[in-house]
Amino acid sequence: MARLILVHGGVHGSWCWDKVLEPLRALGHDVETVDLPGRDAATDALASVTLEDWVACLSAQIDSGPTPVTLVAHSMGGITSSIVADRRPDDVARVVYVAAVVPRDGESALPELQKAAEDSLLFAFGAMNFNEDQTAVWFGAEHVGPIFYNTTAPEDVAWATERVGADAVVPMATPVSLGAGFARVPKTYLATLQDRAVPIALQRGMAADAGAEVIEFDTDHSPFVSATDEFVRVLDGVVSES
């Protein structure tokens, strides 16, 4: 069985994986989560959080146990996981992207998302809030469900809305460097057809550019919450074949 490290996306934390932890462990997998720097921080403290901070945090989690590991990266977690895979290809057996942002070499996450602004509710008027110096971002409670959980049960939408917080902008706006190491690591992309955050056309394009196998879910941006059983079944199949 596999050692899995689940990497959350923007404005989320390790809590977002709660529904899949026990089912995956019951299948024999060693499952871990990580909270990237900036979780629960005050907005004025987020200015000092860098992409290298996120990378160092995930790298330290890898070093806390045996390798190789499988990284399961949701949304903005795709940035950090891609960099770590590039730098440590021998320690990463596979990256499984979940509706994730996978920037090309030399690009950053935010411009990738802005390419699909017309099809994404992320950029709808009033959805994103920024502090005065544009170093922290958060979403109003009324936007969390429609953007991230539009096929999720109401009680789970309420649960997630209570937990979503602010996040650092600097890591999302920092260009990444991806090279030969990244190309070596096998990749699977779990794409979400009803996604209102990262539109499916953008997901398919990023997956193709990264050389990832694609498996599609007819769900919102968060299939580990909205389609937990299917998500666990598919992820187990992917990592069991690695």
**Mean pLDDT across the chain:** 95
**CB-based contact 169:43 (threshold 8 Å):** no
Q: With 90 as the cut, is the pLDDT of residue 111 above it?
A: no
Cα–Cα distance between 60 and 44 in angstroms, integer? Answer: 25
73: left (phi over 0), alpha (psi -120 to 50) or beta: beta
Residue ranges per domain, the chain?
3-241
Q: Which amino acid is at 71?
A: L
Buried b (16+ CB within 10 A) or exposed e, 28-58: ebebbbbebbbbebebeebbebebebbbebb
In terms of pTM, does the model score above 0.75? yes
Q: With 80 as the cut, is the pLDDT of residue 125 above it?
A: no
Of 180, 9, 3, the residue nearest 98 (C-alpha):
9
Q: With 80 as the cut, is the pLDDT of residue 45 above it?
A: yes
41: left (phi over 0), alpha (psi -120 to 50) or beta: beta
70: its two tokens = 């499988």
Average pLDDT over residues 68-78: 98
Cα–Cα distance between 160 and 47 in angstroms, integer? Answer: 25
- With bands split at pLDDT 50, 70 and 90, how would you rate the model's confidence at 112? confident
Q: How many CB atoms lie within 10 A of CB 205?
A: 15
153: its two tokens = 């049960």
Q: With 80 as the cut, is the pLDDT of residue 230 above it?
A: yes
Name which CATH class applies to 3-241. alpha beta
Average pLDDT over residues 31-59: 94
Which pLDDT tens digit goes with each residue over 155-203? 999 999 999 999 999 999 999 999 999 999 999 999 999 999 999 999 9
